[in-house]
Chain A
Amino acid sequence: MRSFTYERAASPQEAASAAARRPNAKFIAGGTNLLDLMKLEIETPAHLVDVNSLALDRIDPTPEGGLRIGALVRNTDLAADMRVRRDYGVLARALLAGASGQLRNRATTAGNLLQRTRCPYFYDTNQACNKREPGSGCSAVGGFSRQHAIVGASEACIATHPSDMAVAMRALDATVETIRPDGQTRTIPIAEFHRLPGDTPHIETVLEPGELITAVTLPKPVGGTQVYHKVRDRASYAFALISVAAIIHKDGTGRVALGGVAHKPWRVEAAETDMPRGAKSVTAGLLDGAKPTPENAFKLPLVERTFGAIIDEARG
């Protein structure tokens, strides 16, 4: 690990301005992903701004009937909150499908959104990776690509986003609240928060330097049967090959978002109008234009069948 200076921030704006003031500064909250990457010298911040003592660890009701989740709410606490379990089941299920008990106790809501990919070529510093070292190329293209993206990828990067939580939040139309170094705040719809790789895969979100996530807000509950189905190589404690977050109403309408298929949580609202017609037709719209590799082409039928099973289950 490279050495770094360290400070504890006292307020969100102070944290944002402290991070913006120094070149190569990073926020640290749970640290479960950042420290892993720092040990491998994939992340090499010169300065860490510890945000753990900021008062951003509450889940409060909003005037609109939704929930405002503080950036520092730990994954365990979010999944255990009775309002989330009752009204946003897809989110509780997604959180519980991720990582281990120890990691969920530390991992935060904001940090989960900012997780880096688990692409093995990103993790191996001997390999070319445009995300780790812009312009160096992509060893995953033409490499072992079983885990990689099938849709929305580019020639520069075929990595996937690893989060389960973010997929459920995409289905729930969450919004991300931030504060910038100058004290200005803004809200970003989750659909616009993560970027597709294009030719700048190292830029993963629309956050600006020093911009700090303060909360994630959920709109009022939408009801329906809420399911998160994660398909992975182990029954527990493994990243998704594919995952399906679905909200299905009694009349057959609903929403669906996918994990493990793209550089961001994947949702195509236009495809959801086909939901009463079943999984095949929705999946065709969702994964329209997919460009799988021979090694990950299995993800297309896997999405369709997993989604089909969810629909069958919801119909009882």
Chain B
Amino acid sequence: MHRASNLTITRRDMLIAGMTSAAAATALRRAEAEVAVSERGAAPPHAKVFFNVNGVERALELDTRTTLLDALREHLHLTGTKKGCDHGQCGACTVIVDGRRMNSCLSLAVMHEGGNITTIEGLGTPNNLHPMQAAFIRHDGYQCGYCTPGQICSAVAVLAELEANVPSHVTGNLTAAAELTHDELRERMSGNICRCGAYSNIVDAITEVAGRKV
């Protein structure tokens, strides 16, 4: 995606630069150049999308290629959500959409018309932490912190999934409710990679929050 948009900018810059060297860079001609670029089909298709992010309604017109992750970070400047692998493998981009956790890097922003999106910024604030954020701090559930927003969004959703009786790969009896064990939390959090290896503290933090709910 970045490669393609850089290409567009480069082409436009080259047109403008070319005109400058010909000593003809008037505003009028610059406008003509931009129209010419667009007529050649270089301007990529855009689409409108309207959704709610952390309780605020947002209307955007985006290049159709924009992922939900890039819309949040680059257009709405909610940089708490992180870009790790950008391929759905690391979980750093995890956000909660319509009550469910997902990889925001593997979804187009325009696919979320009317959606309700919660990012780490919507869970708590520095002065009013979400219980999961407070527990991560208390248990040292991170070192560098890069994966932490994704870990916390995922952890909050994991507890909701347990409450909704969603089973997991390690659930022994499929027709019974899953129990809140370390094995269950490890399995359910396996889509969030922590390069620093804070896993055991992350499990402790989630266990504490879950215990308080019960």
Query: Interface residues, chain A, CB within 8 Å of chain B?
Result: 1-6, 8, 28, 31-32, 35-36, 39, 48, 50, 52, 76, 79-80, 82, 85-86, 89, 92-93, 96-97, 99-103, 105-106, 235-237
Q: How many residues of B contact A (CB 8 A)?
A: 44
* 30 A–B contacts, CB within 8 A, in A order: A1-B1, A1-B4, A3-B4, A4-B45, A4-B64, A28-B108, A35-B107, A39-B1, A39-B87, A48-B108, A50-B110, A52-B111, A79-B166, A85-B174, A86-B175, A93-B174, A96-B168, A96-B169, A97-B169, A99-B191, A101-B101, A101-B191, A102-B94, A102-B191, A103-B102, A103-B103, A103-B191, A105-B102, A236-B186, A237-B190
CA distance A306 to B97 in the complex (A): 38
Q: Tell me if A106 and B102 are in contact (CB < 8 A).
A: yes
Measured CB to CB, the closest approach of chain B to A111, in angstroms, equals 12
Question: How many angstroms from the CA of A89 to the CA of B171 in the assembled complex?
Answer: 12
Indicate if the CB atoms of A35 and B102 lie closer than 8 Å.
no
Contact of A32 with B106 in the complex, beta carbons under 8 Å = yes
Asked, given contacts A80-B164, A80-B166, A101-B161, whether A236 binds B64 with beta carbons under 8 Å apart, the answer is no
| A202 CA to B86 CA, complexed, in Å | 26
Contact of A103 among B88, B113, B168, B189 (CB under 8 A): B88
Chain A residues, CB < 8 A from B102 = 102-103, 105-106
Total cross-chain contacts (CB, 8 A): 112
Closest residue on chain B to residue A237 by CB atoms = B190
> Contacts A1-B1, A79-B167, A80-B167; is A35 near B106 (CB within 8 Å)?
yes
Q: Which of A3, A86, A102, A235 contacts B64 (CB 8 A)?
A: A3
Query: Known contacts A39-B86, A237-B191: does B111 contact A28 (CB below 8 Å)?
Result: yes
Task: Name 19 extra pairs, CB < 8 A, besides A76-B161, A97-B169.
Answer: A3-B4, A3-B63, A3-B64, A3-B65, A4-B65, A28-B108, A31-B108, A32-B106, A80-B165, A92-B174, A96-B171, A100-B91, A101-B101, A101-B154, A101-B188, A102-B91, A102-B94, A236-B187, A237-B190
